[in-house]
């Protein structure tokens, strides 16, 4: 009887110990989610000048290749974006309550005009490129047949000021669950690619 009692006490002890371990890993996971250092780019401030781009080329499978600048965007349908928040894939939140001014990617692509053979020719993807080689990808369906198409912008003003260090133009998506991954600063190009 005494042995059974000791074994059950030992079992309860082991169970409590393992619960505590599980809690610890959950805490560790949480603290890494709030650690924004992983999301920060490794570029030194001195590199920023080299990375800033003064124009964004829209190219690939388009009828009209465009060379967008802040001035040419100002001549298009400029929209105001309220309350943007940048959230990294890890869950870390960096910039909150930002406002932007820019032109929707859909308007830009409509101006460039995709080279579609007929209305069933929709197997395209669009790559947003940056000068540090960072990239984000969109599909035809997302832009032209989904609400996301109303939420992707090439922006040039942040909180009322022209974008400098991370510009001159950025691409943002306002309805992604985590907005960080498809927030492309130092934007240099928008490449329209047809799936082969
Ligand atoms: N050009 C470029 N854009 C980038 C990155 C990058 O390294 N280069 N990092 C991305 C990541 S991982 C995140 S989380 C967000 C961070 O944006 P923030 O600094 O405005 O919060 O930018 C994204 N855009
Ligand atoms: Mo990130």
Q: What is the CATH number of the domain that holds 91?
A: 3.90.420.10
Residue 46 lies in a domain: no
Count of structural domains within the chain: 2
Relative to beta strand 66-68, strand 124-130 is unpaired
How do residues 133-168 score in pLDDT, each as one tens digit?
999 999 999 999 999 999 999 999 999 999 999 999
Q: Does the C-beta of 149 come closer than 6 Å to ligand 1?
A: no
Please tell me the distance from the alpha carbon of residue 132 to that of residue 186, in angstroms, as a whole number: 8
| Residue recorded with tokens 């002890």 | 13
Cα 20 to Cα 24, 29, 33, 116: the distances in Å are 6, 14, 20, 59
pLDDT at 45 over 80: no
99 in a structural domain? yes
41, part of any domain: no
12 and 90, same structural domain? no
Q: Do 66 and 115 lie in a common domain?
A: yes
Give the separation between CA 51 and CA 133, rounded to whole angstroms.
10
Q: Which atom of ligand 1 is nearest to the CA of 43?
A: 7
Model-level pTM? 0.82
Q: Do 188 and 52 touch, CB atoms closer than 8 A?
A: no
Structure tokens at 185: 């600063």
- Residues within 5 Å of ion ligand 2, judged at the Cβ atom: 39, 88-89, 180
For 4, the domain range is 1-35
Same domain, 59 and 18: no
42 domain-assigned = no
Q: Are residues 20 and 68 in the same domain?
A: no
Question: Residue 133: nearest ligand to its CA?
Answer: 1
């Amino acid at each position: 009887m005494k042995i059974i009692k000791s074994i059950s006490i030992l079992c309860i002890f082991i169970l409590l110990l393992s619960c505590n371990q599980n809690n610890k890993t959950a805490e560790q996971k949480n603290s890494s989610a709030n650690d924004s250092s992983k999301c920060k780019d490794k570029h030194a401030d001195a590199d920023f000048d080299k990375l800033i781009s003064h124009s964004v080329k829209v190219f690939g499978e388009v009828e009209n290749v465009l060379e967008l600048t802040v001035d040419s965007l100002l001549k298009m349908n400029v929209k105001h974006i309220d309350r943007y928040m940048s959230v990294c894939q890890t869950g870390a939140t960096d910039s909150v309550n930002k406002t932007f001014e820019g032109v929707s990617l859909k308007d830009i692509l409509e101006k460039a005009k995709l080279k579609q053979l007929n209305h069933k020719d929709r197997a395209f993807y669009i790559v947003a490129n940056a000068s540090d080689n960072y990239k984000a990808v969109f599909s035809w369906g997302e832009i032209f047949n989904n609400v996301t198409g109303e939420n992707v912008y090439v922006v040039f003003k942040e909180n009322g000021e022209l974008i400098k260090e991370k510009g001159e133009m950025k691409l943002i998506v306002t309805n992604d669950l985590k907005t960080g991954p498809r927030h492309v600063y130092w934007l240099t190009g928008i490449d329209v690619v047809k799936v082969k």
